[in-house]
Amino acid sequence: MFDCFGAGQQLTQVTFGGRTWREGRAPEQFAVLPVMRQLHESLWYLTEALDLPVAALHDEVRTTLARTERLTAGSPDELLALDVGAHRRAVGELLGRVIDLVRGGGPDHRNADLMGRDLRRRDLRGASLRGAYLIGADLRGADLGTADLLGADLRASDVRGADLSRCLFLTRPQVAAARGDMSTRLPVALERPAHWR
């Protein structure tokens, strides 16, 4: 599932003043969309960070959030000239400090290859699963506590009955790509996908 985090609407309504790609701006709009999407994804994460108990970093998060919002208001030329990779790295470093304060030092599985693994009996509460490959992993009934799921690949992972309600930086695309059911617990900000039964 593709989720642009509202970048498409911003691009059409604000950046291009209501003109759609069908009105002759397709090449330019298609070039700007990946930049806008990355900025909007950063906004999603930074907004979530403000809801976490990290008062010592809230001012820095607010400043970075405001800067990111200003960047989304740029012209097409400004957006295309933006080093969005550098901005994402700065946001990622800040989010890493937020995560370290919240998750409480669980196991470190950053960028780990956990594809197809049976993780039901592993203690993943507070784990760092940032960027981990959890494709097809069995997480049925697992309590992930405050696990960091920033950038984790959950495609076809089995999260039926799992408790993801306190996980950090879990997104709609991640949830939609996983296999859950009515007993899967999600953060309040995320809707249960219609295909979960």
User: pLDDT tens digits for the chain (197 residues)?
Assistant: 446 566 667 777 767 765 665 665 677 778 888 898 899 899 989 999 999 999 999 999 999 999 999 999 999 899 999 999 999 999 999 999 999 899 877 899 999 999 999 999 888 999 999 999 999 999 999 999 999 999 999 999 999 999 999 999 999 999 999 999 999 999 998 999 999 98
CA trace torsion 182, 188, 194, 195 (10° rounding):
-60
**Structure confidence at residue 6 (pLDDT):** 64
**Structure confidence at residue 33 (pLDDT):** 85
Q: Which residues belong to CATH 2.160.20.80 in the chain?
A: 105-197
**Structure confidence at residue 1 (pLDDT):** 41
Q: Which amino acid belongs to residue 114?
A: L
Q: What's the token pair of residue 142? A: 């697992």
pTM (2 decimals)?
0.82
Residue whose tokens read 């009515």: 182
Q: From the CB of residue 91, how many other CB atoms can be counted at a distance below 10 Å?
A: 23
- The DSSP output letter for 193 is P
Q: What's the token pair of residue 144? A: 């992930």
Residue whose tokens read 């995320």: 190
Q: Which amino acid belongs to residue 103?
A: R
Give the span between the Cα atoms of 103 and 194, in whole angstroms: 29
Residue whose tokens read 């976490």: 52
- In degrees and rounded to multiples of 5, residue 133 shows phi and psi of -95, 105
* CA-closest candidate to residue 173, choices 189, 193, 195: 193
**Structure confidence at residue 62 (pLDDT):** 97
CATH of 105-197, picked from 3.20.20.120, 3.40.50.300, 2.160.20.80, 3.60.15.10, is 2.160.20.80
